[in-house]
Structure formats: C-alpha cells, structure tokens
Structure 1
C-alpha cells in the first residue's frame, strides 16, 4: 500500500478531454479523485497513450529498405523485414525490442498492441524484452495457432487475407477467448471483404475502403486501427479518417519500427494535420479507443480508472503560450515535453 499522490495542472478529463484546472489524486494505482480547483501549475495531465498497432521486432533494422515497395519491405515470407528477422540472433532482437519499449515508456505510451512475428519464440522474446519495462504489451502471435495459444499471447495478428486462409486461426481465437486482428485495405481494397468475413476484433490500415466496406463497418462496428505515417512511407496513401470515424471506432498505431519511431506524439500530429479529424478525436484514437480495442481499462482520466497518466510541462519552450491544450498535445507536443509518466 502506498499513500496518495497528487498531480496538479490542467487536467484533460473524461472521453471529451475537457480541460479543467485542478488536481488528480492517485492511490494504490487508481485515480481516486479528479478535483477542479485553482493550482497555479502549468502542467498538463492526460491519459497515457495506447499504441494500437506495432511491429517492434524490426527495431533491429531502423530505416532499412529506403525506396522499396510495401511488398518488398514487409510481405511475408521474404520481404526485407522477414529476411532481416531470420538473420538476427535472439539476443539482437530482444535487445532492439527493449530499446523500443524503453522509448515508448519514456514518451508516454503505457500499452501497445503488437503483431509479433516469429511464432512461439517471438511471443516469448517480446515478453523477455519487456519484463521490467512499464509498458503493457498486448501480444498477438503470428505464424501458427501454437503462437496464439501460448500462455503469453493475447491473440493472433494476421498478415492479410491475400496471404492465406486464416479460418483455423480465427476459430482458435474464439475457442481461447482471445483477440483476432488482421491487416486489410492497405495497398488496395481487394482483401477487405475477405478480412471482414472472418469477423475480426479489429482491422488494421483500411486505406482503401470502398462504399460497400464502409457500410459493412457501420453495420458490424468493427474497430479500425490507422497508421498514417507508415502508409505515407510505403506510398499507399492516407486513410480516409473522416469516413472511418463517422462509421466506427478508430484507434491509432505507429506500425513498423523499421519505418517509423513508435512515437504517439508524431503519429497524432500526422493524423491531425493530414486529415480533418479534430484534435479531440485524434487524442481519443491515441488513448481510450486503443485501450478498449485491446481490452484494457486505461485511456481516460476518471475516478476509478487505473492511474496510467502522462504529465507534460506546459511551460516548456515548446508548449508555453498554447491557448488550446488539446490541440497543443495533439499537434505540437513531443517527448521532450514529458515530465513524468504515472503508473
């Protein structure tokens, strides 16, 4: 048991991130009070980020493969990423993943959803990498049903319907009560219907949905994870964020560390400036919507919620003078503004 801790400043409260001047009281890892009161503090207090789609195994190969196409970079089984992962030692892969997880922890990410290559060994490797780092890894194994059934796996992450038949993996996740996510609509719309026919717990990318797919999303309520920076790097386009948000829950992910840093600050800025999503919508995508997609209880500053909070220095040279705290967090803040991550 620990005594109460108090954090003061501008607090972004609830699902609407209403800014209030006040304090957040934390005891035994839980928010026990959110109180409106004058404090004089310039800190900004918000929920920690949930990165809803990552591949951190390729942390061994940051910025490799410049100029290659999407398939040349990441398509299984012989895309550049997969060749480099096969050639790396376990020690190299675990060490590189530890560095990415540390970076995530230092920049306000409290949890992430990982599509984990390497079968059973890959699941075990990420658990080893993150053993003492305060970031919760929701691990979706890949490569086999056995990877999904491993006690350290939370589900299965499918590469995409064009890469094979995933009925066995989908049925296995249902039996185990685990998550099933699948890439869809990344380079074109050809694999979207087949992916949705699997009734996944979430879809990743959806850069190229057609009207029939948007209707199916609205009817099924299937959540979507978008990764705008990755889509730009691989040249497949920008997801139609407004159309997706109008139909279903949308979360935000950073995708491959090979292509982009796992910074939710950067991902939010790109999402906000490339599309007509509001700052509040983008912050929700980076926090509670990702948390709920992953079955987690974090992502909001509310009484009774786990105390997984981010405190930013609102008087930093970067943020001082900001008139709209939500826009400042989404469009301007970065890792240098982080004062502490509360867990």
Structure 2
C-alpha cells in the first residue's frame, strides 16, 4: 500500500513531495519523487486527554462552574453517569469514537470514570473500532489493573500514594489533573512523580521550573479551560520546559476534534505551527508509549490524507500552517488506522 502527495516527514514535519510505502501496517520508506498529487499526508492524531463518558450529556450544564460540572462525586457529569443505563453510555462513547476516527484520531488517553465497570464499558465501546484506546482507570487499584494505568482526579481529592506505587509496580501509566482551579495542588501532584500531568492552567514560576527539572510531560486542554472559566494554560512557557501534548478533555463541553484543538492552541499561543502539530501527534504518542505520531520508517502507519485542493486548503503557501490553523473534517480524503 502506498500513499502519496506532500508528506510531512519526521519530527520537524518537513514537507516532501513523494510517497509513503507501507507494508503490514508499518511505514517502510518515504520515497521523494514527483507525484502530481494534491494530497497532504500527515500523522494521524493522538488525543492525550479525554473523558468520553461525558458523551451522554453534550452541552449540558451551561453556566455551571467547573466543580458544579465535573467535581467528584456529585458534579453534574457524575450524577448523569449514575442515572444513565449502561448500554446508553457504551453507545454514546462508541459514537464519539467513530467521530474521532472520522476526524483523523489514531489513539486517545482516556480518564475513565466508573471503576472497573467503567473500564470494561470503554473496552466494549472500542472493540469494533480501529482507534487505539489507552485507558486509565479511576477510583480503585482494581480499575488500574484492568486498564492501562491510573488517571487521578487531583491531589486535593484524595491520597494517591498507594495507587501511585501500585501503578508503578504494575509498570503502567499514571496521570493526574493539576493546576486547573488554582495552583495549590500542583506541588502535591508533582510529589507523586507522575508520568504526566494535565491542565497546569495556574502554573507559577516555581512549578514550571520543577516540571522542567523532573521532565514531566504536560497535557493541555485550552478549549476546555476556557469553557469552564478557569483560565488558559501558559502554553509557551510550558513548551519551553517540557513535552506538551493536546487533549480535548470533556466530551460534555467540547467536540473531540483535534483540528479544533490545534487551531485554538496555535492562535492562542502563536507558537511555531510545527510545535503545535507535534502536540497533536508525536507528543501524545510519546506519553502513551505508542509507535505512531510521526512519518518515518518503522513507525505504525497511522496516517491522515487531506485534500490539498479542497476549497478550504487550495492555494495554501505553507502546508503545515494550513493543517494546524485551517484544515478540518471536510478536507479529509482518507484516514489510515
């Protein structure tokens, strides 16, 4: 199998006219050659932070504060999850996964409410899909053991030392929300030596330096932070210090579209477009331990082909900038997962 056009190659996403040679689901070679194709070929996205159980309640809770919306155990989302039939939750998550596939997402890191049964529901929703779930259980060690790791709500919500140690012994991924409402839970979260942290909206200078010293990756969700009125993360400052990835957060408040997240983050931070594209692809893959997110030999062939001659993308002078700031669902020719 081959795919050709302007290929965004390697860690710098260098635009190269040519074709990607694929065999048994693996990129074998990038052949530089004239193709006559208008396609733009890029790595499929990795959404590094989701709460897809919220798919049952899209656009619910307008005007509520962050705690009123999502704080455990009695935020609106938790009440709705408890009152919704199991099959409805599975179906709703499956519909979101289908949308994510259609919009070019190859994998996602899910913080999965509902203990062991919540993890099982996500596996069931994803079992007929091509998208790769990286599921972090919540609420118990048993949920962590059934999943790919543990996703903590935040250091102020409980003592996670034992769960962190159990996750480490199991060789699994440990992530935690922090700095979303205020800065007071950032140091306690970092004390757990997490594999990654989420949000960091209220990071201060000392927090930023500690993140750099510890080499802790950060997942940012700027659209979600704006909707919940907690502020926006210091994207440029974080990117100077560590690996930063993008997530779409709660399906209740945001479409799980990485196109929308990239465009918002790019225009908010004005970072180089290559950095933003890395946040949506290879950085999330790196956090999740996946072999995708880049177009280079040996990588999994999880790719996105855009129509560079669409009404939206035609005459674009910079393909990377066009992908990050302009492209969308309607420009997709093909998703290869």
1:237 aligns with 2:247: no
Cα drift, residue 105 of structure 1? 0.4
- Distance in structure 1 (CA, Å) of the matches to 2:31 and 2:113: 44
Who is 1:81 aligned against? 77
Cα drift, residue 277 of structure 1? 1.6
1:253 aligns with 2:258: no
1:58 aligns with 2:54: yes
Match of 1:277 among 271, 279, 295: 271
What are the ranges of 5 or more consecutive residues in structure 2 without an aligned counterpart? none
- Distance in structure 2 (CA, Å) of the matches to 1:277 and 1:256: 24
- State how 1:295-310 maps to structure 2 within 5 Å: 295-310=289-304
- Distance in structure 2 (CA, Å) of the matches to 1:100 and 1:258: 11
1:338 aligns with 2:332: yes
| Deviant stretches of 4+, over 4 Å | none
- Distance in structure 2 (CA, Å) of the matches to 1:19 and 1:292: 22
- State how 1:22-37 maps to structure 2 within 5 Å: 22-37=18-33
- What's the secondary structure of 1:24's corresponding residue? strand
Give the length in aligned residue pairs.
337
Who is 2:216 aligned against? 222
Q: Spell out, residue by residue over 1:99-121, the C-alpha distance to the aligned partner (whole angstroms, 9 max, x if none).
A: 00000000000000000000000
1:286 aligns with 2:291: no
- What's the secondary structure of 1:298's corresponding residue? coil
- What's the secondary structure of 2:183's corresponding residue? coil
Who is 2:161 aligned against? 167
Match of 1:267 among 242, 261, 264: 261
Who is 1:94 aligned against? 90
Cα drift, residue 6 of structure 1? 1.1
- What's the secondary structure of 1:59's corresponding residue? helix
Cα drift, residue 157 of structure 1? 0.2
Who is 1:158 aligned against? 152
1:46 aligns with 2:42: yes
- What's the secondary structure of 1:191's corresponding residue? helix
Cα drift, residue 276 of structure 1? 2.5
- Distance in structure 2 (CA, Å) of the matches to 1:274 and 1:243: 13
What are the ranges of 5 or more consecutive residues in structure 1 without an aligned counterpart? none
Question: What RMSD in Å do the two structures reach over aligned CA positions?
Answer: 0.6
